[in-house]
Amino acid sequence: MGSGKKKQKVSTKPPSGTRDFLPADIGRRSFVIDRVREVYERYGFVPLETPTIENLSTLLGKYGDEGDQLLYRLLHRRDNLSRALELDPVTEADLADQGLRYDLTVPLARVVGNTSYNLPKYFKRYQIQPVWRADRPGRGRFREFYQCDVDITGTTSLVAEAEVCAAVAEVLVTLGFSDFTININHREVLRAMIRAAGIDAALEGSALVAVDKLDKIGEDGVKKELGERGVSVDSATTLLSLVLVASAEGRLVGLADGVELLRTKLDSEGAAALGELQQLGELLRRTPAGAYVRFAPELARGLSYYTGAIFEITVADLQGSLGGGGRYDGLIGMFDAKGKKQVPSVGFSLGLERILVVMEEREMFKAEEIRVGPDVLLCWMGVDLASIVGVAHGLRAQGLRVEVFPEKAKLGKQLGYADSEGVGAPIAAILGEDELKAGEITLKHLKSGEQSRVKITEASAVIERWQAQAQA
C-alpha cells in the first residue's frame, strides 16, 4: 500500500503578473525593441546594462513609501538566513539586503555616481531591460516588464528635456502611433499649487500621491484620499480646482495656453516653473514631439526623486500611461557619501509591454514584418543523413533560415508539418536521390502551390523572388 499522500500537482502557469513569451510574442517584441534602439541611437544615446539585483541600500528611499513597498526583496541565503531566523525579534532588514531593481533610473544614478567609470560629463544612455514590481496585475500592468529608457546626465539645459521627449515621440511615430499625448507638468508648479491651496508642506508628498491617481479614481476619489491623508475639505477643493484648470472649459489645451490659464493663480516660484515649461514648449515645437504636447497640471507622477519637469505619454484606449519621466537633479547625489556630487539629470521611459498591448489590440503589426521560424523546411526521401545536413548547411550559407525534418517519413507528412502552427515555413525544399545527384533541390511554395527544381546554389534567389511577389 502507498503512503496515502496525494502527489501535489505542479502548475504549468507562470507566477501571477509574469508571462511566458512564445516565438510569435518574441518576434513582436524584437520588432519594437529594434525600432526603439534605432531611434535612440540616432539621437546619440549609447547602451547601458545594469544587474538585475541591486543592494537594498541602493533602492530604498528613492521611490517614496508606496514604491518601497513594491520592491521585491531577496532573502539571505543558507547560513546567513538561518542566523537571521534565529533572531528575536527578526526584522525585514535582518532577512534581506538585496532586491530586484524597481526601475532603470536608480541603477543609472548609481553608475553615474561611481567616479571610477570615467563617464563623459554629459552622459546620454539608453537602457532596455526588465524591472520588477510587486504590483497588482492588470491590463498592461505586470510584475515583470521591460522599460526602454533614455536619460541625459550632467546638464540643466532644457535641451535635455527636449531631446528625451523628442526621442520617445519619434519611437511612437515610427511604430505607427498618431494619437498619443505627451502630458507635461513641473514639480515646482505642483508645489506652488500645494501652497496656493493652503496645504501644510509636510503633507506635500502625500497630497501629490493622491493627485497622481486622478485618472484612476476621479475627483471624488482624490478628495476622499486627500481627506484621509490629513488635507482639509476646503484645501482639497482648492487644489483640485487648480489641477483641473487646463480642462476647465471641457477641453484639453496646448502647453502655451495651459500655462497662461494657471500663471496668475500661483506665486513667483510657480510662475517661474511655468515659464520654464513655456520655453520647453518652444523647443519641442521644432521636434517630432511638438504636435503631441499638452500642459497637464493634474500630472504628479508618484516617484519622489523628480525635481523639475515631468512627462507622461497616454493614449485614449489604455488606462494609465505608455511611459513617463522627468528631471531628477538630486538623485545621483544620494550616492556621494560626502553629499557633494550633484549631477542634474533628466530621463524618459517607455513601457514595452503597454506598447505591445495597444499595438496588438489595434492590429498594428504587419505579418511580413514579424517573421519567426524557418524560411524553408528541408524535406527528404531516400538520401543519407550526412547529405541532408550538408545541403541544409549550403542553404543556410545563402542567408536562409532552414529547419530540417528530423525523421524518416512520407513526403505528405513532412509537407503537413512545414505548414503546421508553430512552424509555418512558407516554402518546402525537397531533396531526393535524383536532386542530390544533380546538385539540385525542388522548391515548393506551400501557399500558392508553385514548384520549381533549381540548383542548390540558386535556391535563395528563387525564394527571394517568391517573397517579393507575395508582398507585391
Averaged pLDDT of the chain: 89
- Reading the block at residue 416, the C-alpha cell is 503537413
Lowest mean pLDDT among 79-88, 216-225, 250-259, 463-472: 250-259
Q: How far apart are CA 380 and CA 104, in angstroms?
A: 50
Examine residue 59 and state whether it is found in any structural domain, yes or no. Answer: no
Examine residue 395 and state whether it is found in any structural domain, yes or no. Answer: yes
Question: What is the four-CA torsion angle of 217, 323, 296, 255, rounded to 10 degrees?
Answer: -160
Examine residue 434 and state whether it is found in any structural domain, yes or no. Answer: yes
Cβ proximity of 319 and 216 under 8 Å: yes
Examine residue 442 and state whether it is found in any structural domain, yes or no. Answer: yes
Q: How far apart are CA 46 and CA 34, in angstroms?
A: 14
Examine residue 76 and state whether it is found in any structural domain, yes or no. Answer: no
Can you give the C-alpha Rg of the chain in angstroms?
28
Examine residue 460 and state whether it is found in any structural domain, yes or no. Answer: yes
| pLDDT tens readout for residues 188-237 | 999 999 999 999 988 988 888 888 888 788 889 999 999 999 999 999 99
Cβ proximity of 98 and 56 under 8 Å: yes
pLDDT at 149 over 60: yes
CA atoms within 13 A on the CB side of 63: 19
Examine residue 413 and state whether it is found in any structural domain, yes or no. Answer: yes
pTM across the whole model: 0.87
Amino acid 251: pLDDT: 43
Give the residue-averaged pLDDT of 285-311: 89
Residue 242 sits at the vertex; the CA angle it makes with 238 and 243, to the nearest 5 degrees, is 115
Examine residue 264 and state whether it is found in any structural domain, yes or no. Answer: no
Q: How far apart are CA 296 and CA 190, in angstroms?
A: 11
Share above pLDDT 70 across residues of the chain, in percent, rounded to a whole number: 95
User: Is the preceding omega at residue 89 within 30 degrees of 0, hence cis?
Assistant: yes
Amino acid 147: pLDDT: 96
What's 463's domain CATH number? 3.40.50.800
Q: How far apart are CA 340 and CA 334, in angstroms?
A: 9
Cβ proximity of 451 and 415 under 8 Å: no
pLDDT band at residue 249, thresholds of 50, 70 and 90?
Answer: very low
Segments forming the whole domain that contains residue 395: 373-471
Residue 135 sits at the vertex; the CA angle it makes with 133 and 136, to the nearest 5 degrees, is 150
Sheet holding 53-55, edge to edge: 53-55, 96-100, 73-75
- State in Å, rounded, how far the first CA of the chain is from the last one: 69
Residues 6+ positions from 457 with CB-CB distance below 8 Å: 394, 398, 439
pLDDT band at residue 410, thresholds of 50, 70 and 90?
Answer: very high
pLDDT band at residue 117, thresholds of 50, 70 and 90?
Answer: very high
Q: How far apart are CA 300 and CA 296, in angstroms?
A: 9
pLDDT band at residue 146, thresholds of 50, 70 and 90?
Answer: very high
Give the residue-averaged pLDDT of 428-451: 93
pLDDT band at residue 72, thresholds of 50, 70 and 90?
Answer: very high
DSSP H/E element including 39 = helix 23-42
Residue 399 sits at the vertex; the CA angle it makes with 397 and 404, to the nearest 5 degrees, is 70
Count of structural domains within the chain: 1
pLDDT at 398 over 90: yes
